[in-house]
Chain A
């Protein structure tokens, strides 16, 4: 016959192991997560798992001050998620929007650079204007 204390010890160890696995899986989602809301959701889940960890550790050690830590962590996690949601709303564009904007800006800069180079070679053929001025302006447009 197994004693109750042994069962309890095994249950605590099993709970800690399962929580560690789910912690790692959630971290994988945060690292991989294709969009910002995925990562915010992973952070929220991480807070929930940390509260579970705190409860298990509080039971294991009998140190009941950890309950206050769990409540404070829940409050911080809630406020962080709300603030991140406001940030997603105020940023107002998805990762796809940002990527396509960057691509458009890059192609526009390339077109401008090509036009500037053509203008410079044309002026060099005519022999009117020395190169450095045109080179300087095209360099500045590249940075844009």
Chain B
């Protein structure tokens, strides 16, 4: 049982760091700020949450476990809020979408 928990936590550590790597590669490769936000706020949150869950599985006492899970919940709640605020601010100020973007639903219509 103890060995199984250790193995699961090791696997979650590697998977979580892989997600963080994918998020940062997305941050590097994608063309504009909105697509980069899509990479960073989803894959990055997933990565750090998986690593905190690995800590919760590895911990022996319930205090550490519950605090790590509380951190996961807090992070899952705040990451979408902050990135949505940033995207809304950037769009309202007038940062353009990349030329390869096919659709802009928030574009003001002329015939409205």
Taking beta carbons and an 8 Å cutoff, which residues of A are in contact with B? 4-5, 7-8, 11-12, 14-16, 18-19, 21-23, 25-26, 28-29, 35, 37-38, 40-42, 44-45, 48-49, 51-52, 55-56, 58-59, 64, 67-68, 70-71, 74-75, 77-78, 81-82, 84-86, 88-89, 91-94, 97
Q: Is the CB of A85 within 8 A of B75?
A: no
Q: A4-B6, A67-B67, A88-B90 are in contact. Are A51 and B82 (CB under 8 A)?
A: no
Q: Which DSSP category, helix, strand, loop or mixed, fits chain A's interface?
A: helix
Interface membership of chain B positions 85-108, coded 1 if the CB is closer than 8 angstroms to chain A and 0 otherwise:
110111011110000000000000
CB pair B16 A15 closer than 8 Å = yes
Ranked 5 nearest A-B pairs via Cβ = A11-B10, A22-B24, A55-B51, A81-B82, A18-B17
In the complex the two chains form, what is the Cα distance from A20 to B1 in whole Å?
Answer: 31
Q: Known pairs A22-B25, A78-B79. 12 more at Cβ < 8 A?
A: A11-B13, A25-B27, A29-B24, A29-B28, A38-B33, A44-B83, A45-B24, A49-B20, A64-B64, A78-B81, A85-B85, A91-B93
Does A11 contact B14, Cβ atoms closer than 8 Å? yes
Contact partners of B79 in chain A: CB under 8 A: 44, 48, 78
Within 8 A of A (CB), among B48-90: 48, 51-52, 54-55, 58-59, 61, 63-64, 67-68, 70-71, 74-75, 78-79, 81-83, 85-86, 88-90
Q: Is the CB of B20 within 8 A of A71?
A: no
Q: Is A35 within 8 A of B95, CB to CB?
A: yes
* Interface of chain B: mostly helix, strand, loop or mixed: helix
Residue pair A8, B6 in contact (C-beta under 8 Å): yes
Q: Which residues does chain B contribute within 8 Å of A45, judged by CB atoms?
A: 23-24, 27, 40, 44
Counting chain B residues whose Cβ lies within 8 A of the other chain, the interface size class is 35 or more
